[in-house]
């Protein structure tokens, strides 16, 4: 429905910073992230190029306070810790950065990377997110992972000793996975966890080796009924153990939620640096969508030439921005509060949602709209993509 743009929009003065390190030791068959295998790269040059892009973005955003930094990938734990230290130090000069600001990096649990954990901590990183993916050697092999269960557990133990906060990722909904074996794997994972767990249901992404196998019938995923049971079980077990589901795939003890990811889901501003990185930057009440060139080598030459490799810096039209805030916010268990929605859009839910589309979703218990705000029910979260499609035109 076309919406009249209100006069005032606020994004706050805080901004998150995302740094993309696009390299991995090998490709995983399920992954469609912007990740590449390159045996020899000159890390120091890549580090300098990332610093250049930070300087570029700081021109528009320098008065702002960095809310969180996230090194994602690819595999940023393959980066030399001194590069991460330079990036953090640069961020503190370009923007304002406090000592306790959440600074996360993703790491794979291989021995090569684990041995650098202490140096990463000294570089200023205070949170690590480990791509554990499974606690079973056969499942790890199926997922194309190069680490074993034993090294995975070692990585978690070390992370617990070295970093104030850590999280790890598991992928469930794997072929032949039953509610019984997932229950025991999840209980074991929760025992090893601290404040945060990311639990992703395996999705088959176009262009990946798993996509080709699924099409040819050699990879069979659990059917919809089992998938729903696995999802529900995951939510229930985590909740019982105090790891509350705060987003569709993320669970945390209260206060341990990932501040960086919450920025995306609550429609906050973030700067994207590195190949393929995305950003959202609000200037004078107008939010811009930003995107860097994805191919690592093309990105690198553009940065060398111009100081940045921005391929998109585009105003987001108001209706698209509203849709985006709804799409992202409904992933959260608490949904979107009225105050937050009004603060970010200048309008209330009733001003923007089409009653004809909304009513059946409320009546059939997929969504709740009340004084507090708009949220998906447990039933709605299970089919969130269809609910969102039905809600938005």
264 makes contact with ligand SAM (CB under 6 A) = no
- Binding test (CB under 6 A) with ligand SAM, winner from 13, 157, 188, 205: 205
106 makes contact with ligand SAM (CB under 6 A) = yes
Q: Minimal distance in Å, beta carbon 379 to ligand SAM?
A: 22
Q: CB under 6 A: which stretch of 196-204, 292-300, 347-355, 375-383 binds ligand SAM?
A: 196-204
Cβ-contact 232, 202 below 8 angstroms? no
Q: Minimal distance in Å, beta carbon 31 to ligand SAM?
A: 5
Q: Pairing mode, if any, of strands 65-73 and 102-107? A: parallel
Q: What is the pattern of x (binds ligand SAM, CB under 6 A) and - over residues 121-160?
A: ----------x-x---------------------------
Contacts of 302 (CB under 8 A, 6+ apart): 293, 308, 309
169 makes contact with ligand SAM (CB under 6 A) = yes
296 makes contact with ligand SAM (CB under 6 A) = no
Q: Minimal distance in Å, beta carbon 212 to ligand SAM?
A: 14
Handedness of CA 146, 152, 156, 157 (dihedral sign): negative
133 vs 193, beta carbon nearer ligand SAM: 133
247 makes contact with ligand SAM (CB under 6 A) = no
Q: Minimal distance in Å, beta carbon 113 to ligand SAM?
A: 9
Burial 329-364 (b: 16+ CB within 10 A, else e): bbbbbebbbbebbbebbbbebeebbeeeebeebbee
Cβ-contact 253, 244 below 8 angstroms? yes
202 vs 336, beta carbon nearer ligand SAM: 202
Cβ-contact 345, 369 below 8 angstroms? no
275 makes contact with ligand SAM (CB under 6 A) = no
Total residue count of the chain as it appears in this document: 393
- Binding test (CB under 6 A) with ligand SAM, winner from 34, 61, 68, 75: 75
- Binding test (CB under 6 A) with ligand SAM, winner from 20, 34, 71, 73: 73
**Extended beta strands in 74-118, E state:** 102-107
If DSSP codes are grouped into helix, strand and coil, which group holds residue 279?
Answer: strand
51 vs 128, beta carbon nearer ligand SAM: 128
Cβ-contact 222, 179 below 8 angstroms? no
Q: CB under 6 A: which stretch of 24-32, 220-228, 305-313, 351-359 binds ligand SAM?
A: 24-32
Q: What is the greatest pairwise CA distance in the chain?
A: 58
User: Could you tell me the CA-to-CA distances from 244 to 60, 271, 343 in Å, in that order?
Assistant: 37, 28, 26
Q: CB under 6 A: which stretch of 42-50, 72-80, 96-104, 362-370 binds ligand SAM?
A: 72-80
How far is it, in rounded angstroms, from Cα 316 to Cα 5?
A: 12
Q: Which tokens is 146 given? A: 């190069």
Q: CB under 6 A: which stretch of 195-203, 233-241, 270-278, 380-388 binds ligand SAM?
A: 195-203
203 makes contact with ligand SAM (CB under 6 A) = yes
Q: Pairing mode, if any, of strands 165-172 and 102-107? A: unpaired
49 vs 171, beta carbon nearer ligand SAM: 171
Closest residue to ligand SAM: CB criterion:
131
Q: Which of 298, 351, 355 is nearest to 322 (CA)?
A: 351
- Binding test (CB under 6 A) with ligand SAM, winner from 158, 171, 219, 374: 171
Cβ-contact 205, 211 below 8 angstroms? yes
9 vs 186, beta carbon nearer ligand SAM: 186
Residues making contact with ligand SAM (CB under 6 A): 28, 30-31, 33, 72-73, 75, 106, 108, 131, 133, 169, 171, 200, 202-203, 205
């Amino acid at each position: 429905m076309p919406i009249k743009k209100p006069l005032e929009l606020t994004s706050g003065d805080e901004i998150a910073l995302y740094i993309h390190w696009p390299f991995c030791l090998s490709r995983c068959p399920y992954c469609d992230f912007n990740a590449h295998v390159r045996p020899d790269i000159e890390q120091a040059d890549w580090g300098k190029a990332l610093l250049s892009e930070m300087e570029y973005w700081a021109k528009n955003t320098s008065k702002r306070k960095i809310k969180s930094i996230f090194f994602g990938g690819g595999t940023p734990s393959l980066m030399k810790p001194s590069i991460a230290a330079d990036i953090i130090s640069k961020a503190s000069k370009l923007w304002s950065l406090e000592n306790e600001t959440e600074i996360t990096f993703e790491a794979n649990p291989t021995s090569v990377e684990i041995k650098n954990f202490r140096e990463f901590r000294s570089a200023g990183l205070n949170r690590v997110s480990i791509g554990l993916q499974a606690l079973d050697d056969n499942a790890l092999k199926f997922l194309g992972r190069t680490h074993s269960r034993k090294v995975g557990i070692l990585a978690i133990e070390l992370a617990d000793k070295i970093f104030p906060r850590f999280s790890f990722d598991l992928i469930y909904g794997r072929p032949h996975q039953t509610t019984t074996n997932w229950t025991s794997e999840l209980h074991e994972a929760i025992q090893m966890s601290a404040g945060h767990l990311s639990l992703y249901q395996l999705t088959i992404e176009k262009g990946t080796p798993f996509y080709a196998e699924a099409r040819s019938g050699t990879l069979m995923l659990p059917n919809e009924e089992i998938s729903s049971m696995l999802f529900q079980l995951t939510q229930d077990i985590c909740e019982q153990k105090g790891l509350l589901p705060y987003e569709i795939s993320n669970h945390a003890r209260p206060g341990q939620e990932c501040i960086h990811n919450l920025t995306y889901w609550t429609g906050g501003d973030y700067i994207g640096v590195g190949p393929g990185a995305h950003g959202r930057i609000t200037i004078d009440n107008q939010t811009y969508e930003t995107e860097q060139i994805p191919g690592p080598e093309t990105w690198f030459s553009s940065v060398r030439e111009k100081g940045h490799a921005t391929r998109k810096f585009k105003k987001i039209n108001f209706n698209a921005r509203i849709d985006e805030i709804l799409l992202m916010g409904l992933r959260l268990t608490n949904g979107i509060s009225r105050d937050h929605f009004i603060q970010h859009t200048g309008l209330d839910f009733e001003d923007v949602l089409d009653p004809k589309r909304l009513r059946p979703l409320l009546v059939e218990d997929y969504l709740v709209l009340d004084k507090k705000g708009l949220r998906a029910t447990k039933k709605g979260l299970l089919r969130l993509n269809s609910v969102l499609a039905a809600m938005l035109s």
